[in-house]
Amino acid sequence: MAASVPPAAGRTRGIPPLPLLTLINFFNYVDRQVVYGMTPDIGKAFHLTNFKLGWLAWVNLFVFALASLISGPIADRVGPRKVIFTGIMVWSIATIGSALSTSFPMLLFFRALVGVGEGAYGPSANTLLCADAPPEKRGRALGIYNVGMALGGTSGLVLGATLAPHLGWRGVFWIAGGPSILLAIASAFVAAPARLERPQALPARAYLLSPTFILALGGGILATFGASSLIFWTRQLVIEDRHFSILVGSIFMAVVGLVAGAGGVIVGGYVGDALSRRARGGHALTIGGSMLIGAPVGAVALLITGHPLFMIVTSAAAFLFSVYNGPSAAVVDELGPPQYAATLQAVFLFGIHVLGNAPAPMVVGWLFDRTKSVSLALQAAIVAFAISGVLFILVARRQRHAPSFH
């Protein structure tokens, strides 16, 4: 069993990490997702096909993944606070820069730059929270943190869909980017050690190449593919395909994100902690079970056309799929010693965003262009969720017989 430092060892005085990073994560996802609520407006402005619209997500997420891969080892060396500050400042400026774009390539450049900042932020934030919380409370801390993701992602979609017709998509980017600059300044005062001191262990590649980590990475890739597909094409599904009005559709998307999405994240964190106290692998088991239950629910939701039943079943599916975001970072943290915490998080984020998040909107867009049915195209996301569930069940089984690093 590898030794570990106590949580929050060496923490300096400052703003408590969990509430500040949760608020930052909210605006992180507002800035990332706001573009998805404005795809029809941006598409008309630059005369884009559905496939080309998918590039807005792909370029952001591909660069995000590269930045995550690079920033993790840097955070392990220089400490998370400096990396977090830099990341927030970069994505804030780039979001405002998106408003100034006069061509589609220019907009792609700024969306890529948003990915640089968010990629620097993600691994460091996960690492700091895992170091700050004791192991038995790590899932709930990450669950609370990822409520910011659920609420921010939903708010970004709704903000884009409701304000773009009135202010224009450029005006919405101005509104989305401003608050994060203030949060970047606040992050410079977050309570965090200058560096996360770690005991020595085997080389990082020994943990990155372990079968359990690879299974978890595969599950994360597929879960992220499914989530990215649904997030990007939700507006098309709800407003264009199911013919909700913009107002009613936006309210419905907001309620799903605020109640079902955030609720799933919190429940996932708490259930993962409870199961982990009984046996190792509880966090992975929580994810696997929710995915396997959610897949058939999601498949049925995509077949329903009546508004009331569609809303009920879709909300249930969103809740089950959102459970993943509570304990997922805790699963990764459990797969290696604290010395390589940020590196493991970085490689995991790199993989899920390059192979799952980035291609998902384009793949579903390609299927949509050929089937002429967004509901049918999104069944690909449901298949991805189901396979992800199987992989996380396998991760949980392997963890029960593996050494603990915490």
Q: What is the pLDDT of residues 86-124, one digit of tens each?
A: 999 998 999 899 989 889 999 999 999 999 998 889 888
Q: How many CA atoms lie within 13 A of 8 on its CB side?
A: 15
202 in any annotated domain: yes
Question: How far apart, in Å, are the Cα atoms of 199 and each of 2, 161, 339, 351, 367?
Answer: 8, 49, 6, 26, 49
Residue 234 lies in a domain: yes
The CB density around residue 45, as the number of other CB atoms within 10 Å, is 16
Is the separation of the CB atoms in 220 and 328 below 8 Å?
yes
**Cα 365 from chain centroid?**
20
pLDDT at residue 280, as a whole number: 85
∠ CA 390-289-155 to the nearest 5 degrees? 105
In a domain, 288, yes or no: yes
d(CA 285, CA 276): 9
Cα→Cα distances 25→149, 197, 292, 336, 353, Å? 6, 25, 27, 25, 17
Residue 270 in any domain: the answer is yes
Does residue 35 lie within any of the structural domains?
yes
Percent of the chain with pLDDT strictly greater than 70: 93
Residues β-bridged to residue 190: 15
**Burial class of 47 by CB neighbour count within 10 A (0 to 12, 13 to 18, 19+):** exposed
What integer pLDDT is reported at residue 6 of this predicted model?
A: 42
Q: Identify the DSSP state of 15.
A: B
Selection from 65-74, 172-181, 238-247, 388-397 with the highest mean pLDDT: 388-397
pLDDT at 242: 92
The number of angstroms, rounded, from the C-alpha of 17 to the middle of its chain's C-alpha atoms is: 19
The pLDDT value recorded for residue 295 is 97
Q: Which domain holds residue 235?
A: 17-400
Domain count, the chain: 1
* 199 and 5 Cβ atoms separated by less than 8 Å: yes
Q: What are phi and psi of 190, to 5 degrees?
A: -70, 145
Whether residue 147 contacts residue 264, with contact meaning beta carbons closer than 8 Å, is answered with no
In the structure encoding, which two tokens stand for residue 400, read together?
């029960």
Whether residue 172 contacts residue 156, with contact meaning beta carbons closer than 8 Å, is answered with no
Its pTM stands at: 0.75
* Residue 34 in this model has a pLDDT that exceeds 80: yes
3-state secondary structure of 358: coil
**Which two structure tokens, joined as six digits, stand for 138?**
């790590």
Q: What are phi and psi of 326, to 5 degrees?
A: -70, -60
Asked, for residue 4, whether it belongs to a domain, the answer is: no
Average pLDDT, the chain: 86
Report yes or no: 186 and 166 within 8 Å, Cβ to Cβ. Answer: no
CATH number of the domain at 174, please.
1.20.1250.20
Structural contact between residues 41 and 239, judged by C-beta atoms closer than 8 angstroms: no
Q: Per DSSP, what are the bridge partners of residue 15?
A: 190
Residue 333, domain member (yes or no): yes
The tens digit of pLDDT for each residue in 355-375 reads 998 789 889 989 998 998 999
Q: Establish if 406 belongs to a structural domain.
A: no
Check if the beta carbon of residue 262 is closer than 8 Å to that of residue 150.
yes
Task: Tell me the two tokens of residue 229.
Answer: 């597909």
The answer to whether residue 311 scores a pLDDT higher than 90 is yes
pLDDT of 1 > 70? The answer is no
191-216 pLDDT, tens per residue? 876 555 555 556 777 888 899 999 99
